[in-house]
C-alpha cells in the first residue's frame, strides 16, 4: 500500500489517526477483561462503543472510499474525534477527579490526544470550510462531555 503511487498525502493524514484510535478500544477491552473495572453503567463502556462504531464505519469507508459521500466521511471523522475527546475526558476524570486510573487509561489518553489533533489536520486537508470544522469540534466536545455525565 505504501509503495502505491495512488497513496497520497490525504490517505496518510486520514489513515494515521484511524490506526491510533483503533488501538484505544483494544486497550479498553483489555482493561475490561483483566481488571474488571468497566461496567455497563461506566462511561468508559459507552466510549468503547463509540470507538467500535467509528472503527466499523471507517472500515467501510476505507473499502469503498470513492462511492462514499463527503458527508459520510465527515460523520466518521466526528465519531472518531468525539471518541478521542471522550477517551481523554474519561481518563482525566478517572485520574484527576476520582484518583482511580490504571496504566491503560493513561495510554488511551496518550493515544487520544494526538489522534484528535491529526483528525483536525485531516479535516483541514479535506478543505472543509471553517464553519464545518467548528461544527465538527463542537459536536466532538459535546459527545465527550455527554459520555462523562
State the total domains in the chain: 1
Q: How large is the average pLDDT for residues 21-27?
A: 57
What confidence tier does 94 reach under pLDDT thresholds 50, 70, 90? Answer: low
Q: Inform me whether the pLDDT recorded for 33 exceeds 60.
A: yes
Cα distance between residue 21 and residue 48, in whole Å: 11
Is residue 134 one of the residues assigned to a domain?
yes
Handedness of CA 130, 90, 30, 39 (dihedral sign): negative
3-state secondary structure (DSSP) of residue 101: coil
Is residue 63 one of the residues assigned to a domain?
yes
Q: What pLDDT, on the 0 to 100 scale, is given for residue 60?
A: 58
Grid cell, residue 63, equals: 473499502
Q: Inform me whether the pLDDT recorded for 9 exceeds 50.
A: no
The percent of residues above 90 in pLDDT, for the chain, comes to 0
pTM of structure: 0.31
Is residue 74 one of the residues assigned to a domain?
yes
Q: How large is the average pLDDT for residues 32-48?
A: 56
Q: What pLDDT, on the 0 to 100 scale, is given for residue 149?
A: 46
Is residue 2 one of the residues assigned to a domain?
no
What confidence tier does 96 reach under pLDDT thresholds 50, 70, 90? Answer: low
Domain that holds residue 75: 9-148
Q: How large is the average pLDDT for residues 22-32?
A: 59
Q: Inform me whether the pLDDT recorded for 44 exceeds 60.
A: no
Whether the CB-CB separation of 104 and 31 falls below 8 Å is answered with yes
The percent of residues above 70 in pLDDT, for the chain, comes to 0
Is residue 4 one of the residues assigned to a domain?
no
Amino acid at each position: 500500500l505504501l509503495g502505491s503511487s495512488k497513496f497520497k498525502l490525504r490517505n496518510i493524514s486520514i489513515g494515521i489517526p484511524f490506526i491510533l484510535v483503533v488501538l484505544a478500544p483494544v486497550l479498553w477491552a483489555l482493561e475490561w477483561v483483566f481488571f474488571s473495572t468497566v461496567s455497563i453503567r461506566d462511561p468508559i463502556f459507552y466510549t468503547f462503543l463509540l470507538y467500535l462504531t467509528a472503527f466499523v464505519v471507517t472500515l467501510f469507508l476505507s473499502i469503498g472510499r470513492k462511492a462514499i459521500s463527503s458527508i459520510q466521511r465527515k460523520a466518521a471523522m466526528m465519531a472518531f474525534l468525539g471518541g478521542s475527546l471522550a477517551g481523554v475526558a474519561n481518563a482525566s476524570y478517572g485520574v484527576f477527579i476520582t484518583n482511580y486510573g490504571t496504566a491503560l487509561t493513561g495510554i488511551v489518553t496518550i493515544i487520544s490526544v494526538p489522534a484528535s489533533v491529526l483528525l483536525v489536520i485531516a479535516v483541514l486537508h479535506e478543505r472543509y470550510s471553517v464553519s464545518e470544522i467548528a461544527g465538527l469540534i463542537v459536536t466532538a466536545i459535546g459527545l465527550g462531555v455527554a459520555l462523562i455525565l
